[in-house]
Every structure is written in structure tokens, then in C-alpha cells.
Structure 1
Amino acid sequence: MKVLIFGAGALGTYFGLRWADSGTDVSFYVREGRKKQIEREGLQVTSVKGDTKVSSPTLVTNPSEATSPDVVLLGVKGYHLEDTIPVLKEFVAKGAKVLPILNGIEHITILQETLGKEAVLGGLSYIIATLDDRGHVHHTSDLHELIFGPLHPSQKEVCDSLNEINERANFNSQLTSNIEEEMWKKYMFISAMSGVTTAGDLHTGTIRDVPETLKLVENVMTEIKALASLYDVHINQADIDRRMESFHSLPYEATSSMHQDKRKKNKLEVEHLQGGALRLAKQVQLNLPYTETLYRLIKPYETQNS
């Protein structure tokens, strides 16, 4: 199986190098600036699960240069989604399936409408990783999970093949027939974690220390649970309880990628995450007061001047 990583951000680089270590044919589609940095610095992962690096990875800057990939792992930020679609169309025309692991939910419908339902797999990841100034990945918790599955009956074979290479790679992988439900559960978790850490400028340990603030995390999850039910995806209280247990298990200094971006004065995914929930809620006439408050608090920081 040939895997192409669309972008070499923290998530794409992490899973790409883990696949490469296990013998999978991996290439990276990158912009010219990132290509020059990688040619100078290589790709490297520093991780509690083991370090790895590749000095000269296969880099592609034009879709025509790529050999036909079987799977394109899409791990870009939500605000870059629109820019990726013309290039993704070229890879899909070569027979590739797209595996998006973006935070959020809205992107699945957007990709299906533009690429075709048969071309888009369901996927998500649980991982805490960030890039340093050299473009190297720092992975700081035991979480490194890739969960995926078919959204169309025609995708069974490619999912089975992907599952085979994942079993050899140094990360946790799960192939599920209920991927839509799993994506909503992740959306529930990340909406709460990203919203509270970013709006409050807090890491998870401080949130856990203050019961009133910790309750806000659960309240946001409860709102997303209600939203999911109106889209025929049923999440129960036990699912919330498990995500709260996961929140408690994170390192004290752990935080969300959006909070990290706020600290770095990078553009934020607030419109893709909290904004997306509000748009979906409006379509089904549901109010999300906690999510809306977090959205309004984060929105002024969406684009900052470094």
C-alpha cells in the first residue's frame, strides 16, 4: 500500500514516520517552504513512545510528481480545507481514497460533496503533538491513536489493507464499522477541551483543580451529545464519562492544539470547531449556550499579530 501524507504538520509527520518505520511506502505532499525546511532538517519525532527520524523523505510539491497513492492522509487545519480540495481531486482521479483526520465534523460533508462519497473515508486521531521551530514533532503523551472506517460500502477493501499496515506500525489503530459515531465522540471531546483551554488560557491540570471549571468541560460535551442525536448519531452518558476519565488522565501541563496555536499567535480553528457546531445546531434549531459563549470568547484571537 502506498500512503501519501498531505502536509507535514505534527499529525501527518507523526503517523507518516511511524508507517515509514514499519516498511510502508510513504511520501509527503508539502509546500515549497516546508520542503526546503525538511531538506535542511529532515523529519523527526521525539516521543514518549520512541524517537524516530528520516533524513531524506520522499517529498512531492506537485500532484503530477506523485506515484498513484492508495490512501491520502489529510491532517491539515480546518481553515486550510478549501485550499486542499483542487489537489485532492487530482489524487482521487488517480484512484486514491482520502482519510481525513481533521478536528471537527463539517469537513466530511464538504469532502464528500466535492470528491464523491466513495472517495472519503472516515477517520480521527487522538494524539498530543506539536511542531518546534525546526519542524520536528514533539509527542508528549501516551495517546497516539488512529481510528478509521468506511463511510461507503465500496471502501471495505482499502480499509482492510490499511488495517494490515497499521498493525505493523508503532501507534494504536482501530478499524471500526461505526466511524461516524466515533467521529462525533471525538468532536464532543475536542470541542470541550479546545474551547475551555483556549478561552480560559488554561492547561488541563488547572481545569481539573477547579470543579466549577471542570464542570464546564462536561457541559460542552453534553451539548455536542444533544447535537449529535439530532443528526441520528446517538451518544450516551457513559461516552461522556469515558471522555471525562480521559481528560483526567492527561498530563497536568497538557492542553489542546488550538490553545497551543493561541500561545504561538497562530491562526485558530475556532470557526471549524465551535463555529461548525453552531452552524450545525442552527440547522436543527438547537441552542448551544456554553459552546456559543466559548466561541465568542475565542473569536477575537482567531487571527493574531505575531
Structure 2
Amino acid sequence: MNILVLGAGALGAYLGGRLLEAGQNVSFFVRQKRAAQLSIEGLKINSPEGNFESRDVTICTSLDEVGNIDVVILAVKGYHLDQVIPQVQTIVNQTGAFVLPLLNGMEHMEKLHHAIGNEKVLGGFASIVATLNQHGHVEHTSGTSTFKFGKLHEQQTEICEKLEVLQSQVKTKLVREENILKSMWKKYIFITAFSGITSAMQLPSGFITSSEATFAVAKKVVLEMAMLAGREGIILTEKEVETAINTLTGFKKEATSSMHQDMRKGLSIEVEHLLGGALRLAAKHRVAVPVIETLYGILKPYENGRLNM
């Protein structure tokens, strides 16, 4: 199978590296700066799931360099989505490839459906805590990683079957989900709470339960997000909601969200894609989400990186 990873940040480089390690035909579509870094440093993963390094990495920076592709793994941040959609459109038109987006949130799905058609967009998401170090190497800091995918259209059955075959070959959990849409919402609920609270606190996960008041805020974000899911037709049981709340407490004390890591580095953060997206859904359904609105207001000034005072 011919796989193009669009975006080689920590997420794209990790999954793309694992697929490359498994012998798949993988290429990376990246910007010039990242291409130069990969050319010099190679692709390197430091991970509890096993280290990997390769200097034999196929890199594309121009659409003319993209050849025969079966699936595009879209692994960019939400704030880069609008920039890359024209590239995704061209690649799909040229190759007929399917697109597996691994973005957080849900707003990207509607944008991709509009750009390339419902039948071309798989459902999917990633569960991993990773970042790039100063050399552009992946530092995987959570104990495990999981990448889930599933069909949202009957025309996607065959490509999902091909992806499913890879799960026994890669050093990560590559899981096919029958109800991928519900699973995507569960991830959206969790990551909005986890990213929002760690970034607003500017502290790692161990501090979520350091005070009853702080944990109450995190729980209220989960409840507000679960309510929005219900308005969108995704009904969660009380047990599923409770599991999402409990998951917030299951990390090592020093672990934190990717948003908080980006914030500490002075990088752009996905406040608009996650919390802003939730606010737009709330407005659509004419419901109030006061805790999400408050976290959005706290984090919005950091959207484009470190503040210059």
C-alpha cells in the first residue's frame, strides 16, 4: 500500500515512522523547513514502544512529486487545516486516494467532506503524547500509542480492510472501529477537558486532582462536551461519561497534554479548533457551555504562540 503522510510533526512522524519500520511504502509531504531538517537529521523515534531511526525517508514538498497514493494520513494541527485543504484536494483528484484525518476535534470533518466528498474521508484519531525535540526527533512520552480508524461510507470498506492488515505489523495499536464516529467524539470530549485544564493551569496532569475545585472544572468540561455530543446525535451512557472523567486522573503526575507542551514552548495552540469548535456547536444548538467558554477566554490570547509583553 502506498501511504502519504501529510505533516511530519510528532504525530505524523511517529505513525509514518512506524509504518516505514513495518516495510510500508511511506512518503511525507512537508514544508521546506521540515524537509531540510529531515534530510539532515533523518527520522528518529524515541519511544517506550521501541526506538526507530531511518535516513531513507521519501520527502515531498511539491504536489508534482506526489505519485501513486492509496491513502493520505492527514496529521496536521487544526490551525493548519485551511492551508492544506487545497493540497489535499489536488492529491485526491490526482490519485483517487482516501484521506484518514488524525486531527483533534470534529470541525475538520465537515470541511474535508465539502472539499473532497464524504466517500473519501475516513473517520480516525490518535491517542498519543509526543513532541519533537530540538533536532526534530519524536519524543514519545506516554507509555503507549493508539491510532483508530473506521469507515464512514460504504466505498471505504476495502481501504479499511487493507489498513486493518497492518495492525499486526506495526509497533503501535492500529485499531479498526465499527462505530468510529462515536469514538471520535469520546476523544474530542476527553482532549478538550485534558488540554483545556492543563493549559489553563499551566501545570501537568498530576495537578488536575490537586484540589477539589480544579477537578470539578475538568469534570464540568466533560459534562458540557457530552451534552454537545448528544445534540449532535452521539448519545453517551453515564458509564462512558464517568470513564472519560476518570481517564483525566490516570496519567503519570508529570504527563501533560500536547497543547500544554506547545504552550510551554511558545508555539501556536489548538484553542480555536477544540474549544472554539465546541462554542460554535453550542451556538448552533443554542445551549450554554460556561466552563468551556471560560477556558476559551483564558487560552485565546496564547493561540498564536508566546505573548510578547
Quick check: TM above 0.5? yes
TM-score where L is the length of structure 2: 0.96
Q: Is the 8 A contact 1:44 1:137 kept in 2?
A: yes
Q: Distance in 2 between matches of 1:193 and 1:295?
A: 13
Deviations 1:255-293 (A, max 9, x none): 111111111111111011000000011001011011000
| Residue 98, structure 1, aligned to residue 96, structure 2 | no
Equivalent residues in 2 for 1:7-18, closer than 5 Å:
7-18=7-18
Q: Distance in 2 between matches of 1:45 and 1:60?
A: 20
SS of 1:250's partner is: coil
Equivalent residues in 2 for 1:177-216, closer than 5 Å:
177-216=178-217
**Aligned residues between the structures:** 306
The letter for the 1-side match of 2:243 is R
Question: CA offset at residue 75 of structure 1?
Answer: 1.1
SS of 2:34's partner is: helix
SS of 1:27's partner is: strand
Deviations 1:146-183 (A, max 9, x none): 01101111101101101111321010122112111011
Which residue does 2:69 correspond to in 1?
69
Q: Distance in 2 between matches of 1:97 and 1:69?
A: 9
Equivalent residues in 2 for 1:1-306, closer than 5 Å:
1-93=1-93, 94-303=95-304, 304-305=306-307
Q: Distance in 1 between matches of 2:26 and 2:247?
A: 31
Q: Distance in 1 between matches of 2:113 and 2:228?
A: 21
Q: Distance in 2 between matches of 1:305 and 1:26?
A: 38
The letter for the 1-side match of 2:155 is S
Q: Is the 8 A contact 1:6 1:12 kept in 2?
A: yes
The letter for the 2-side match of 1:223 is E
Question: CA offset at residue 10 of structure 1?
Answer: 0.3
Deviations 1:6-32 (A, max 9, x none): 011000000111111111111100111
The letter for the 2-side match of 1:131 is L
Q: Distance in 1 between matches of 2:3 and 2:167?
A: 11
Q: Is the 8 A contact 2:48 2:144 kept in 1?
A: no
Q: Is the 8 A contact 1:19 1:166 kept in 2?
A: no
Taking only the aligned residue pairs, the percentage that are identical comes to: 42
Q: Distance in 1 between matches of 2:35 and 2:307?
A: 25
Q: CA-atom RMSD, angstroms?
A: 1.1
Q: Is the 8 A contact 1:225 1:236 kept in 2?
A: no
The letter for the 2-side match of 1:55 is R
Q: Distance in 2 between matches of 1:29 and 1:104?
A: 22
Segment drifting more, 237-246 vs 134-143 = 237-246
SS of 1:222's partner is: helix
Q: Is the 8 A contact 1:220 1:290 kept in 2?
A: yes
Question: CA offset at residue 251 of structure 1?
Answer: 1.4
TM-score where L is the length of structure 1: 0.97
Q: Is the 8 A contact 1:78 1:102 kept in 2?
A: yes
Deviations 1:192-214 (A, max 9, x none): 00111111111100112222211
Q: Is the 8 A contact 2:49 2:144 kept in 1?
A: no
Question: CA offset at residue 217 of structure 1?
Answer: 1.4
Segment drifting more, 239-248 vs 125-134 = 239-248
The letter for the 2-side match of 1:126 is S
The letter for the 2-side match of 1:217 is A
Q: Distance in 1 between matches of 2:252 and 2:55?
A: 31
SS of 1:165's partner is: helix
Question: CA offset at residue 141 of structure 1?
Answer: 1.4
Question: CA offset at residue 305 of structure 1?
Answer: 4.4
